[in-house]
């Protein structure tokens, strides 16, 4: 468990960033843990250890359903076979489940990239098609890079800095490396940028999606959604359905992670309260559509498409 706690700290400290990276890292840590402790245990004993390990990993990032779905993907497979298979067979099931879930994520992102790229026109005009995004989303990046690879050169991107860890700079660097024109602005310049650069499309990622179609993403996302609503700019959210939280169908509210205030101001004056909310909600009323591996649809249909594509991810109740 000591080694697992050390690995979990990499997620907690944001050494590992991005919902997809967090999810794949967590299931890898779970698999590694199983192989470290499992060989001298019975299948049932290992299953109980994995439940404890899951809770350790879940607590690293409370607003990450992709992480929880990945861990449940593995645990559900173990639970179904724990009474009928040997410990070596269970360990093999965990290893295969680990690789299978990683493939599912990779395949989902590729489908989203292909679908989302179709929202970027390929007709050359005098005015560049302008897309704005916030923070760093590997799914959003995949869409933009796919469009570029398809030969769509007549678009530019406005990207925010994203305080306090400047994840927006990751987006900027990746897009610049691909030859895409980028404009960089501070978070508080969102509205100004939309007003002054004739933004045609706003595209952000998501860390979580609820049964009501509300998305949770990096703080500042709702502000950008309100700007889109005010300026009549189409607002889309690109996300794999693996970021859907099935527990919200049963009345459980998704938690908003509050980060360490020292991330904002390490040596803040005494008696000062510093708040550091990492995420915020964006209501479905401001979202024109979710771009997912199942296609583009209204946010209210997320529950239907999640269970259609991933019935095996029914929440593990153990």
Domain boundaries along the sequence of the chain? 2-110, 113-313
Q: Where are the beta strands (DSSP E) in the chain?
A: 129-133, 155-160, 181-185, 201-204, 208-209, 215-218, 235-238, 279-282, 289-292, 295-297
8 A C-beta contact, residue 302 and residue 213: yes
Which of 238, 13, 285, 254 lies closest to 134 in space, CA to CA? 238
Mean pLDDT in the chain?
Answer: 93
Bridge partner residues of 233 (DSSP): none
What pTM does this model have? 0.88
User: One of 32, 122, 135, 187 is an active-site residue; which one?
Assistant: 135
pLDDT digits (tens, 9 = 90+) for 84-127: 999 999 999 999 999 999 999 999 999 999 999 999 998 766 67
pLDDT digits (tens, 9 = 90+) for 223-259: 999 999 999 999 999 999 999 998 898 888 888 889 9
Question: For this structure, is 187 an active site residue?
Answer: no
d(CA 175, CA 169): 10
* CATH architecture assigned to 113-313: 3-Layer(aba) Sandwich (3.40)
pLDDT of residue 8: 93
pLDDT of residue 17: 80
User: Left, alpha or beta for 12 (phi > 0: left; psi -120 to 50: alpha)?
Assistant: alpha
Question: For this structure, is 130 an active site residue?
Answer: no
Average pLDDT, integer, range 198-207: 96
**Does residue 315 register a pLDDT over 60?**
no
Return the DSSP state at 276. -
Tokens (6 digits) for 108: 């989902």
**Does residue 26 register a pLDDT over 60?**
yes
2-110 has CATH 1.20.120.420 classification = yes
pLDDT digits (tens, 9 = 90+) for 245-300: 988 988 888 888 899 999 999 999 999 999 999 999 999 999 999 999 999 999 99
pLDDT of residue 314: 62
pLDDT of residue 13: 86
Average pLDDT, integer, range 172-176: 98
User: Left, alpha or beta for 248 (phi > 0: left; psi -120 to 50: alpha)?
Assistant: alpha
pLDDT digits (tens, 9 = 90+) for 135-159: 999 999 999 999 999 999 899 999 9
User: One of 126, 207, 260, 267 is an active-site residue; which one?
Assistant: 207
pLDDT of residue 125: 63
Residue showing tokens 């595209």: 203
């Amino acid at each position: 468990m000591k080694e697992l706690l050390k690995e979990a700290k990499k997620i907690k400290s944001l050494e590992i960033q991005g919902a997809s990276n967090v999810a794949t890292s967590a299931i890898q840590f779970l698999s590694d843990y199983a192989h470290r402790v499992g060989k001298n245990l019975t299948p049932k004993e290992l299953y109980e250890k994995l439940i404890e390990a899951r809770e350790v990993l879940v607590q690293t990032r409370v607003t990450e359903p992709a992480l929880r779905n990945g861990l449940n993907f593995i645990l559900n497979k173990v639970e179904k076979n724990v009474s009928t298979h040997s410990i070596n067979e269970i360990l093999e099931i965990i290893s295969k489940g680990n690789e299978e879930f990683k493939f599912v994520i990779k395949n989902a992102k590729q489908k989203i990239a292909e679908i989302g790229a179709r929202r970027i026109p390929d007709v050359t005009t005098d005015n560049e098609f302008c897309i704005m995004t916030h923070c760093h989303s590997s799914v959003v990046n995949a869409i933009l890079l796919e469009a570029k690879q398809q030969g769509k050169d007549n678009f530019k991107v406005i990207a925010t800095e994203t305080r306090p860890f400047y994840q927006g700079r990751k987006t900027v660097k990746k897009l610049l490396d691909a030859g895409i024109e980028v404009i960089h602005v501070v978070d508080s310049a969102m509205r100004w940028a939309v007003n002054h650069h004739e933004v045609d499309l706003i595209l952000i990622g998501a860390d979580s999606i609820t049964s009501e179609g509300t998305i949770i993403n990096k703080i500042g996302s709702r502000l950008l959604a309100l700007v889109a609503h005010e300026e009549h700019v189409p607002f889309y959210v690109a996300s794999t359905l693996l970021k859907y939280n099935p527990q919200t169908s049963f009345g459980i509210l998704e938690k908003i992670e509050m980060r360490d205030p020292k991330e904002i101001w390490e040596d803040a004056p005494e008696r000062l309260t510093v708040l550091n909310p990492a995420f915020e909600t964006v209501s479905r009323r401001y979202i024109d559509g979710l771009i997912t591996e199942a296609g583009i649809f209204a946010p209210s249909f997320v529950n239907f498409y999640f269970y259609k594509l991933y019935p095996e991810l029914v929440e593990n109740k153990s």
